[in-house]
């Protein structure tokens, strides 16, 4: 096996082992209902994490995701409450705003040669602040179209259902995988992560690629915000605090190198599912504090960073002998 598949395989093995352990203790967890809920409950995080995966592939980071999700929710709630605009049009508007917001951050990162960390940190405060400007209260969304969308689902054998948002997440992952591995843009993203200066010398359009990466992350954060507002039926400017960190965690547990240039979109899905699985287990147990989720995730994160270091060490060693 090529060493680059090792982290992905490790993630998958950990998920399957973990799931098997859960099922051994609570046989009820082996049901389509649990799987369906796993997808639905983590849909917004998963969609945002796909964008984060591309950003991290390129060697960057996007800290604005959680704030953009909150802004999107508040924007939708305010627009739907105060105007008669149809939700679909509101969706299109907010997606456009989020995409432009991401593109602007990408442009600043590239043209002003600023670290992505600082630029998206500023974006994080800006988006959160804009959400507060729109409203400081939690606004419920009661539009009938929302009820229609929430009622859409695909029935699985057993009692499970794949909801609209759960299905949307899977679709986003499928498209993400195609973009990452089967388009020139995808290869360019990896190229940037491998070395921006070299990529430029090899003719990669660095400016366009950087802007598109952050635009994609913004678009998916916006989509994630829409999904989040469907999930919670409300818009609240304090929502989704720290979601960007959960997304980064999912990406790293999914086997992507934080320094960029290596990893798989599919790994991020497994990373999301592992986080969801731990939460589900704690729910099933009922007596454990939900902080155990954080503790386990923290340990997993450490384990994966060590694993990646180990792989880099081993492959270097192998190259030297070759």
Handedness of CA 288, 289, 293, 298 (dihedral sign): negative
Q: How far is CA 272 from CA 42, 243, 252, in A?
A: 7, 12, 10
The CB-of-194 to other proteins minimum distance in angstroms stands at: 4
Contacts from 82-90 at CB under 8 Å and sequence distance 24+?
A: 86/145, 87/143, 87/145, 87/146, 87/149, 88/145
CA-CA distance, 265 to 255, in Å (whole number)?
9
- Least Å from the CB of residue 261 to other proteins: 4
Q: CB 256 → other proteins: shortest distance, Å?
A: 12
Q: In this structure, what token pair is assigned to residue 64?
A: 């604005």
Nearer to other proteins among residue 98 and residue 177 (C-beta): 177
Give the residue with the Cβ less far from other proteins, 141 or 252. Answer: 252
Closer to other proteins by CB, 127 or 192: give it: 192
Distance of CA 143 to the CA centre of its chain: 27
Which residues are at the interface with other proteins (CB under 8 A)? 2, 4, 178, 181-184, 186-188, 190-191, 193-195, 198-199, 201-204, 261-262, 315, 318-319, 322
Cβ 184 to other proteins shortest distance, Å: 6
Taking the least distance from each CB to other proteins, the nearer of 210 and 275 is 210
Cα 175 from Cα 159, distance rounded (Å): 28
The Cβ-side half-sphere exposure at 131, using a 13 Å CA radius, reads 33
Residue 244 CB, nearest approach to other proteins (Å): 24
Residue 267 — φ and ψ, nearest 5°?
-60, -40
């Amino acid at each position: 096996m090529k060493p680059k598949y090792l982290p992905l395989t490790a993630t998958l093995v950990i998920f399957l082992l973990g799931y098997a352990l859960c099922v051994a203790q609570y046989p009820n967890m082996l049901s389509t209902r649990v799987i369906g809920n796993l997808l639905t409950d983590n849909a917004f995080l998963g969609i945002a994490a796909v964008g984060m995966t591309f950003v991290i592939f390129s060697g960057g980071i996007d800290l604005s995701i959680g704030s953009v999700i909150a802004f999107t929710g508040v924007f939708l709630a305010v627009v739907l409450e105060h105007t008669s605009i149809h939700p679909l049009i509101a969706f299109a508007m907010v997606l456009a705003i989020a995409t432009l917001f991401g593109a602007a951050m990408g442009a600043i990162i590239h043209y002003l040669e600023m670290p992505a960390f600082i630029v998206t940190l500023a974006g994080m405060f800006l988006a959160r602040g804009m959400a507060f400007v729109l409203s400081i209260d939690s606004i419920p969304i009661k539009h009938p179209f929302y009820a229609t969308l929430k009622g859409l689902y695909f029935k699985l054998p057993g009692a499970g259902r794949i909801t609209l948002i759960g299905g949307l997440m899977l679709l986003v992952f499928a498209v993400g995988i195609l973009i990452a591995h089967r388009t020139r843009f995808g290869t360019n993203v990896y190229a940037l992560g491998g070395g921006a200066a070299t990529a430029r010398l090899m003719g990669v359009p660095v400016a366009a690629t950087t802007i598109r990466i952050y635009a994609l992350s913004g678009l998916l954060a916006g989509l994630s915000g829409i999904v989040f507002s469907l999930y919670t039926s409300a818009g609240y400017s304090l929502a989704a605090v720290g979601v960007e960190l959960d997304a980064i965690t999912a990406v790293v547990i999914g086997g992507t190198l934080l320094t960029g240039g290596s990893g798989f979109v599919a790994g991020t899905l497994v990373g999301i599912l592992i986080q969801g699985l731990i939460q589900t287990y704690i729910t099933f147990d009922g007596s454990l504090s939900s902080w155990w989720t954080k503790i386990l995730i923290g340990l997993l994160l450490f384990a994966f960073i060590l694993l990646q270091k180990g792989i880099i060490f081993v492959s270097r060693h192998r190259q030297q002998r070759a």
